[in-house]
Chain A
Amino acid sequence: MTSQRTRRRRTAPRTPVPIVALAVIAVVFFALPLLALVLRVPWSDVGDLFTASAPREALLLSLLTSVIATACALVLGLPLAWVLARTQLPGRHVIRAVCTLTMVLPPVVAGVALLAALGRRGLIGASLNDWFGIRLPFTTPAVIIAQVFVAMPFLVLTVESALHSTDRTVEDAARTLGASPWTVIRRVTLPAVRPAILSGLVLTWARALGEFGATVTFAGNFPGTTRTLPVATYLALESDVDQALLMSVLLMVVSFVVLVSMRDRWTGAIGGRR
């Protein structure tokens, strides 16, 4: 491993200057606004953030819903990615487009679409309401549904592309060695795409955590049940800018810690260490 790495370093050509220069611009482009945000935060008020119950409540709700949404995306998205990558299903290009459209849709439109389907007067929502008394909008499950709706494509696309690029002969070999189709999936295919699943999960979770437009449109805003941290932050901008800044930094710190730690995990998996 070590010798391989040093060899690679010796033979790697130097990165051309224009690439480095543009990459530096890209880093500054990301880092500068975030740094400016951090600098503008009234750090003397940081105590209020943790004593006030509203931000804490919103953060807990955000963490809870985004984690559940990520789990739902995994349960539904993994089989979807499988079908898209591994079957000859006619029209799967159309299916893929439909299932990833919410990535490019303005989130508010995604929320309106959810209302049109699951709202009190919605396509299915009306029947749910009339027959079972189930009303989804303005509930915590609605927050999760909105997050899954806009975030799941990140998992599906990441895993599908990994499934396309895996070596199918390894699976064939496993089958001739006596492994059932389930065993092949469990012990060969899923471990092979594990890094992609992990990065897909992190992307999905990050998108769910930051979700605002679809949530506020479909689930509304009620403290404790549907007011997530992004919604609370947006509202705070209307009344107390200092608190809004503190909450946005809180959201950033939580995301940053998770992204950095997960990043190490999954590069470890790719590099082969576990």
Chain B
Amino acid sequence: MSVHGRIIVRVGDCRIDVPIDIASGTTVALIGPNGAGKTTVLRCLAGLQPLDDGRLVGADGVWDDPGAGVFVPPQHRRVAMMFQQHALISHLNVRDNVAFGPRSRGVGTTAANQRAADVLARVGAAHLIARRVTDLSGGEAQRVALARALAADPEVLLLDEPLAALDAAARPAMRRLLAADDLPTRVIVTHDPIDALTLADQIMVIDDGALVQAGSPRELVDTPRSAYVAEILGLNPLSGVLTGDQLLIGGYPLTVGAHTVADGDVVAVVRPRSVSLHRSRPEGSPRNVWSTRVEAIERSADRVRVRLGAPLPLVVEVTEGGLAALDIGTGDEVWASVKASEIAVFPN
């Protein structure tokens, strides 16, 4: 379902004014620092927070228009929201949690339970069906929360930091679930630019209650319209050609981690902190190791950025102490390495 309009709302001391344009079937990521108003936008879309001004229109009609006195409450919008802390109902078991949506919409017990079983199987959580939600791990609980949202058969799925509460081991599986093609229109709130770039068709950068920039991941990475966007993205974008887990960038091969992107032209991003620098060739561990030269060293208030030359024009962030230990200067030779799992790819 498409949703468009403009959200104007005041929460505490924070005024939020964000235009909304969500195309049907797409994934939109809301990214920005904590307290920027991302979650409030999500709550407005869900109907948990009525607008003060502006209006929201879904494909099925006006959702919220304070000027016209129209407000469709959450239970009458085909929107399901998944919360950062899963928000499962603790006195119900997994099946009853997942069946809650269908039951609330009047589906009979048998049919609702069947639907719960189907959706749990779809998210790979069929074995959890009889468990108490208080006995679930964080990753399991988040899966069940996703299943519960999907079981309500929403037209729009709102996801508030779906990965933040998970440990590193549980994240890849949840990323794969969120990237599945058969999900409805998604709006994902995240503070992690990699997640936004890899999961979303459209990214909305929000800061201090206002929309800073909106566009495809490619547009944002290529032409950040402000230093702020470049800063929060803060990534090294690299264009290349993907074949399985091999990525060719200007003829230089890199091994990438698990992903869901089809072979072909892609954009890869590497966090400046994910690249390690060494005086000599590092032993053992990382698969991506290469020798290069220091092109420039830039210092700002609390960090040092080292700009590397060919073959990969990357910016590396190190601490002042780390730089002193390396004892390198502009023009020196240096070894660089990056783990495969630290290279994220998304379609060009």
Are B134 and A272 touching (Cβ within 8 A)?
A: yes
* A176 near B91: Cβ-Cβ < 8 Å: no
Chain B: minimal CB distance from A120 (Å): 49
Q: Which residue of A lies closest to B135 (CB)?
A: A1
> Cβ of B184 < 8 Å from any Cβ of A?
no
What's the nearest-Cβ distance from chain B to residue A140, in Å? 37
| Segment 73-93 of B: residues with Cβ below 8 Å from A | 73-75, 77, 79-83, 85, 87-92
Interface size for B (C-beta < 8 A) is: 32
- With A177-B100, A177-B104, A179-B75 given, is the CB distance from A172 to B148 under 8 Å? no
B105 contacts A178, C-beta separation under 8 Å: yes
Could you say which of B83, B101, B134 contacts A172, with CB atoms under 8 Å apart?
B83
**Contact between A175 and B48, CB atoms less than 8 A apart:** yes
Shortest A6–chain B CB gap in Å is 15
CA distance A183 to B277 in the complex (A): 58
The answer to whether A172 and B87 touch (CB under 8 A), given A180-B75, A187-B100, A272-B132, is yes
Q: Are the CB atoms of B152 and A170 closer together than 8 Å?
A: no
Question: CA–CA, A191 to B83, complex, Å?
Answer: 20
Whether the pair A188, B87 counts as a contact (CB closer than 8 A) is no
Q: Closest Cβ of chain B: how far from A65's Cβ, in Å? A: 32
* New contact pairs (13) apart from A175-B46, A180-B104, CB-CB < 8 Å: A169-B85, A172-B43, A172-B83, A175-B74, A176-B48, A177-B75, A177-B101, A177-B152, A178-B75, A178-B101, A180-B75, A192-B90, A272-B132
Within the complex, what minimum Cβ distance (angstroms) separates A191 from chain B? Answer: 5
- Asked if A173 meets B87 with Cβ closer than 8 Å, knowing A1-B135, A179-B104, the reply is yes
Q: Are B104 and A183 in contact (CB under 8 A)?
A: yes
Q: Are B100 and A191 in contact (CB under 8 A)?
A: no
A83 CA to B74 CA, complexed, in Å: 22
Tell me whether A96 is interfacial, beta carbon within 8 Å.
no
A176 engages B88 (CB within 8 Å): no
Give min CB distance, B275 to chain A, whole Å: 38
Query: Which of A170, A176, A188, A191 has the most chain B CB atoms inside 10 A of its CB?
Result: A176
- Determine the distance from Cα of A173 to Cα of B47 in the docked complex, in whole angstroms: 11
Interface residue? A71 (CB, 8 A): no
Q: A167-B87, A188-B89 are in contact. Are A176 and B104 (CB under 8 A)?
A: no
Q: Is A176 touching B74 in the complex (CB atoms < 8 A)?
A: yes
Nearest-Cβ distance from residue B55 to partner chain A, whole angstroms:
20
Q: How many whole Å from A197's CB to the nearest CB in chain B?
A: 13
Q: Within A161-208, which residues are at the interface with B (CB < 8 Å)?
A: 167, 169-170, 172-180, 183, 187-188, 191-192, 194
In angstroms, Cα B75 to Cα A180, docked, is 6
User: B315 within 8 Å of A by Cβ?
Assistant: no
> Is there a chain A Cβ closer than 8 Å to B56's Cβ?
no
Q: What range describes how many residues of A lie at the interface?
A: 20 to 34
Q: Does B158 contact A (CB under 8 A)?
A: yes
- Indicate if the CB atoms of A175 and B85 lie closer than 8 Å: no
Contact at B149–A177, with CB atoms within 8 Å?
yes
Q: Which of B43-97 contact A (CB under 8 A)?
A: 43, 46-48, 73-75, 77, 79-83, 85, 87-92
Most chain-A Cβ atoms within 10 A of its Cβ — which of B74, B101, B105, B152? B74
The reply to whether A173 and B75 contact each other, CB–CB distance below 8 Å, is: no
How distant is the Cα of A69 from the Cα of B48 in the complex, in angstroms?
A: 38
* Contact indicator B100/A176 (Cβ below 8 Å): no
Inside 8 A of B74's CB, which chain A residues have their CB?
A: 172, 175-176
A170 to B101, CA, bound (A): 13
> Closest approach, in angstroms, between the C-beta of B144 and any C-beta of chain A?
12
How many whole Å from B26's CB to the nearest CB in chain A?
Answer: 20
A-B contact pairs, 29 of them (CB 8 A): A1-B135, A167-B85, A167-B87, A170-B88, A172-B46, A172-B81, A172-B87, A173-B88, A173-B148, A174-B100, A175-B73, A175-B74, A176-B46, A176-B74, A176-B75, A176-B77, A176-B79, A177-B75, A177-B101, A177-B148, A178-B75, A179-B75, A179-B100, A187-B89, A187-B100, A191-B89, A192-B89, A194-B91, A272-B134
CB contacts (< 8 Å) of B47 on chain A: these are 175-176
